[in-house]
Amino acid sequence: MATRITAAMQALSRFGELAWFKLPEEYNNVYDYHQVPYMGWRYTSPPTGIAQYIENAVREVPTELEWDLDRSRKNWVLLPSRILREAQRLDSPAFADVVHSINIHDQEFCLKALSDFEQIILHLQQIPVPES
């Protein structure tokens, strides 16, 4: 997991200085299941247009699932669209319940999301950094 965290942080750091970052564990060793990935972060001072640039870059990746970059709050969150649809919004009390339910009841979805997530991070590591 440390490798996934490092890769994600390095990919995002290419576009600005990170002030905060979170990526839950991909596997729950206690309960023995994969967990759906989602990544939250905040830039110290996001460059103009970088959010749209990252959002467009995510859309360029051929993924099995649909993904969203939610920028409605101070921290940006990249997550499978299904989570937002089912929880209705990030600050909803249902958010944690939706994630937990998917983790327990839909391992196929979790594995697809993990595979997609790796492809998204790889793409973010490789695309050119826009000039300021």
Compute the mean pLDDT over every residue in the chain, rounded to the nearest whole number. 94
What average pLDDT does the segment 113-124 reach? 97
Asked if pLDDT for residue 83 goes beyond 90, the answer is: yes
Asked if pLDDT for residue 27 goes beyond 80, the answer is: yes
Asked if pLDDT for residue 35 goes beyond 70, the answer is: yes
Determine phi and psi for 13, rounding to 5 degrees.
-65, -20
What is the per-residue pLDDT for 3?
A: 85
Q: What is the rounded CA–CA span in Å between residue 37 and residue 25? A: 8
Q: Where are the domains of the chain?
A: 2-126
pLDDT tier at 60, thresholds 50, 70, 90: very high
Residue bearing the bigger pLDDT, 107 or 93:
107
What is the per-residue pLDDT for 132?
A: 67
Amino acid letter for position 110: C
Q: Which two tokens stand for residue 76?
A: 């940006």
Compute the radius of gyration of the chain from its Cα atoms: 14
Asked if pLDDT for residue 127 goes beyond 60, the answer is: yes
Q: pLDDT tens for residues 104-118?
A: 999 999 999 999 999
